Amino acid sequence: MPEATSLPSHQVCEQARASRDLRFDGLFFTAVTSTRIYCRPVCPAPTPKAKNVVYYPNAAAAEAAGFRPCLRCRPELSPGDGAWRQGDAAVARAIKLINEGLLSEAPVSVLAERVNLGERQLRRLFVERLGATPSDVHGTRRLLFAKQLLTETDLSITDIAMAAGFGSLRRFNTTFKDAYRMAPRELRKRPAPSRGEALVLRLGYRPPYDFATMLRFLHGRALPGVEVVDDTCYRRVVAPASQDAAPGWLRVSAWPNEAALKLEVHGIAPMQLQSVVQRVRRMFDLDADPRAIASALSVDRRLRPLVQRRPGLRLPSGWDGFEIAVRAIIGQQVSVAAARTVASRVARMFGTPVAMGDLEHLFPTPETLADADLTNVGLTKARAATIRTVARALLDGTVDFAPERTLDTFVERWTALPGIGPWTAHYIALRALSHPDAFPAEDLVLQKTLPVDGTRLTARALREHAEAWRPWRAYAVLHLWNAAA
């Protein structure tokens, strides 16, 4: 699929800015030439004159042009631009790698190599499509994350520098002051409210967002002792950054009266924070653009009423790729409840014990299950062997969850393993990668639910019908699964 600029038309930007439309939050930013400040389209400040307004597709482009983030609407709270989750375009895959922190540890040349492009070509694509270079996107990302931590938490400035990926406090202070014309400590003139033991962060999304349906999906698959899901929140234990550290925990709930989720974390090392936030954003699909998805799927007469019924449906991803892969193998041709029971036994017997009340153990690692005897958990010999095979394949790099993989490449690599068919590979892509176009066409529920006359489609017929849903086939899967529930 060809890459295209993500900036909406000038007329759409004008209308969204005038009405402060939350659906466009993060899809563009309003820069004011008279103040050199850039804002979210939902900024509550008085509307600037149109002649003083310039629109940018992302915060990095605005900052690269010399604008500073508004202290009132706080651009760091905007959701990401969901347009760049479409398909497997090189820019989309590169942004995923940047969001995972690649450029904190490697130069742009490595980023380009990971997405099979030359460095100059990648820079050109970024400037053409985003108005900013990969380094600009990376730099803005970590500065805005630091700004959020400075504003919302009482972490020390040193810890915030480490959390945002800066190698030293001095470098952080210099970079922040150069970009925002103020020292980090100046934001601390507004003291953060006391948060108790847990650190609290606000994670924005574009409405509508069906959080209740998300929790119901996760609740039906929750592994006792590893995670807890009820009608109001999701909780889980989080592995420590190092073997000699204690595990932490997180809790995700709705932020009252705002288009945001509330993330509470405890016992998480500062250097883990950005990764944890990124995982939660992916897991709860906070950067999706419901308008674009609904527009694409509503063309189908079967999907149109489903989309209208649940306009805020999102992809419920998982916390850990290996955990999802094990659960997918266990769930082959069995009910969700039966798969959950067996997966719970695996977690209880092989996971690392922790002492956090009803959070009792971490899910086992590939190292633990690579040679594990799984005969006593209720698995067939074939599926036990497949789990061990997957664990070994992850350890030796035969398969992975690398964000630069295209969907086709990911499926091809995984289905080359014995015991992994197309359904399992696409299910893993949907729930471990949150890939918007993953499509397990072999799924019996999908084959029976799409027709309305009681017939059942073949996987081939279903796949052909779903071509019109690209690049959002995974959302169609969720709508059909919910319709069948």
335 and 327 Cβ atoms separated by less than 8 Å: no
> Do 114 and 404 meet the contact criterion of CB atoms below 8 Å apart?
yes
Provide the token pair at 182: 């103020």
Q: Cα 365 to chain center, whole Å?
A: 21
Active site residue 408: no
User: Of these residues, 39, 43, 70, 73, which one is catalytic?
Assistant: 39
List 88, 136, 289, 443, catalytic entry: 443
Phi, psi of 374 (to 5 degrees): -100, 20
Q: Is 154 a catalytic residue?
A: no
For 204, list phi and psi in degrees, rounded to 5.
-80, 155
Give the residue among 308, 305, 294 at the shortest CA–CA distance from 469: 294
Amino acid making up residue 50 = A
Strands (E), 295-376: 353-356, 359-361
Sign of the four-CA dihedral 43, 46, 47, 52: negative
- Residues 8, 6: Cα–Cα separation, whole Å: 6
Contact in structure between 472 and 437 (CB atoms under 8 Å): yes
Q: In this structure, are residues 155 and 199 in contact, taking their beta carbons and an 8 Å threshold?
A: yes
Residue 288, both tokens? 């999706």
Instruction: Please give the Cα distance from 384 to 386 (Å, whole number).
Output: 5
Question: Which helix H or strand E contains 56, and what residues bound it?
Answer: strand 53-56
CA 145 and chain centroid, separation:
15
Active-site residues: which are they? 39, 443
